[in-house]
Amino acid sequence: MAANGTIRFLLDGKLCELESADPTETVLNYLRYRAARTGTKEGCAEGDCGACTVVLGELDGDSIRYRAVNACILFMPVLDGKELITVESLRAADGSLHAVQQAMVDTHGSQCGFCTPGIVMSLFALSKKDGAADRNTIEDALAGNLCRCTGYGPIIDAAEQMQMNVSATDPSELKEKVEALKALSRNQTLALTGKSTLTGVEKKYYAPVSIEGLAEIVEQHPDATILAGGTDVGLWVTKQHRELETVIYVGGVAELQKIEDHGDTVVVGAGVSYTDAMDTLGALYPDMGELIRRIGSVQIRNSGTIGGNIANGSPIGDSPPALIVAGASLILQGGDQERTIPLEDYFIDYDKQDLRPGEFVSKVIVPKPKNNQHFRAYKLSKRFDQDISAVCGCFSLTIEDGMVADVRICYGGMAATPKRAAQAERAINGKPWCEETVLAGMKAMEQDYTPLSDMRASADYRLASAKNLLMKVYAETTGSARTRVLERGSAVHAG
């Protein structure tokens, strides 16, 4: 296993090289305290407010893909081989403002200004996408940026104005950056050793580039923290102040970044981001796509991964209930051996998963929907965007000649793990799909769940909501509900 203990990335088009860095130092702290780039602000330090938003550029063939991310939960070694863009990077050589910044000035899109740099960077990332963004896309791009004083009206006006004024990328400049990033590409593991900037604890960081290399390192360090998007692990550092002594980053493993169509199934690599998985899974199951769109914000979905949401075993993760009712399986790898298990069997108890020492989550196998299969997913939360579920209910029903031929029901937020409603399923399966059957299923659900009360919802609310969501499925699949909202500002007829 070769090692090169230097983090290399581009900043303002120039090569930056860092040796012996703290592997869990956040990009936010580096920018503010070491690079003196204080335009990037610290607000929540947990990926919610967007004040720390920066943009990463990554190679995409002979082009560069730009995405907004939260610097507060992004570890410095993850920058290796990428381009980092901060709000200071947007200023032209002659000192003039970027079109995004100028639009914010022209539309009075800033008052106190604390949130403005992060908003500017979110809009800058949006400007890098092909085609004009509609109102829904603009609102989605801004959902991860909290502004308390300006109001979003002028900011949305700025987003619409900037699209008319943003200049196309200079082809020669793009080519130069592509070549520079290609020169930073690795074909060997990046291995770092550094000390904590706070306690002096020695830490190790590995970033393999192949699944064989990943398997070897995980076997050698079975107690290491496996890092994908950092949307959960980052908070262990910023909020729990944990010292992660050994970190293995999977973002450079090409095999984990693929989505493959295998006929009756789609196989999603564990390192695929929510953003990259959303369209594929949404094309199969529209409700699953919309559920993913409501996970965090654009910044979170650009970093967070499908495999990470599963691997951490959270009882309130939104993707596992939807994948479970779709019949998904999980491929776990240890060394050169693989084993496949139903996704629902991976979750044993709170903070306990069926993962043996030296194993890691490799792929998720998602069956394609069958004829007469109705798939529904609902997220109940206090806010529409950027919020944790109080209850996440997912349902799959196959109806044949008015009878329930197959039913799968799974909830998040109702138990210590994402859990199927076995008793409710038993009360429904093989019965006529009618209100009497649904009411029986709702009653049986009382045997399936004993939810807890917390800051998001009371136990009574959770159980009542879970029952009512089943009735909602019935109303929608029988035509009792005229329309159902799938995304902000649009609706489709019920199935």
**In terms of pLDDT, which residue wins out, 4 or 120?**
120
> Within a 10 A sphere around the Cβ of 98, how many other Cβ atoms?
21
Helix, strand, or coil (residue 127)? helix
201 pLDDT higher than 50 = yes
| SS3 state of residue 267 | strand
**Mean pLDDT of the residues in the chain:** 93
Among the residue ranges 166-180, 230-244, 344-358, the one predicted with the least confidence is: 166-180
* CATH class belonging to 254-367: alpha beta
**Residues in the chain, how many?**
495
List of E strands, 312-353: 329-334, 337-342, 347-349, 352-353
Confidence of residue 489 (pLDDT cuts 50, 70, 90): very low
Domain boundaries, given as residue ranges, for the chain:
254-367, 373-493
Architecture of domain 373-493: 2-Layer Sandwich (3.30)
Sign of CA dihedral 309, 312, 318, 320: positive
Query: pLDDT tens, 408-427?
Result: 999 999 999 999 999 999 99
Please check the confidence at residue 167 and state whether its pLDDT lies above 90.
no
pLDDT the model gives residue 1: 37
Q: What is the pLDDT of residue 480?
A: 65
pLDDT class of 495 with cuts at 50, 70, 90: very low
More confident residue, 130 or 248: 248
- How confident is the model over 276-321, as pLDDT tens digits? 999 999 999 999 999 999 999 999 999 999 999 999 888 888 999 9
